[in-house]
Amino acid sequence: LSSGAMLHSILHFASYLTWYPFLCQRSFRHVKLQEPLCWLVSIDEEIQTLRQVLLAKCRRQQFLKRQLGITVISELRDEVTRGVDTIQIFCKNAHVTLAASNPPKKLRIIALILQ
pLDDT in tens, 4-61: 666 566 555 555 555 444 545 455 555 566 777 788 888 999 999 999 999 999 999 9
The string over 54-93, giving b where at least 16 C-beta atoms fall within 10 Å of a residue's C-beta and e elsewhere, is eeeeeeeeeeeeeeeeeeeeeeeeeeeeeeeeeeeeeeee
Q: Is the same domain home to 36 and 12?
A: yes
Full domain range(s) for residue 115: 71-115
| pTM of structure | 0.44
* 66-71 LR contacts (CB < 8 Å, sep 24+): none
- Tell whether 82 and 108 lie within a shared domain: yes
Within this chain, do residues 54 and 42 fall inside the same structural domain, yes or no?
yes
Domain shared by 11 and 63, yes or no: yes
Question: Both 4 and 34 in a single domain?
Answer: yes
Number of domains in the chain: 2
Indicate whether 29 and 85 sit together in one domain: no
75 in the same domain as 30: no
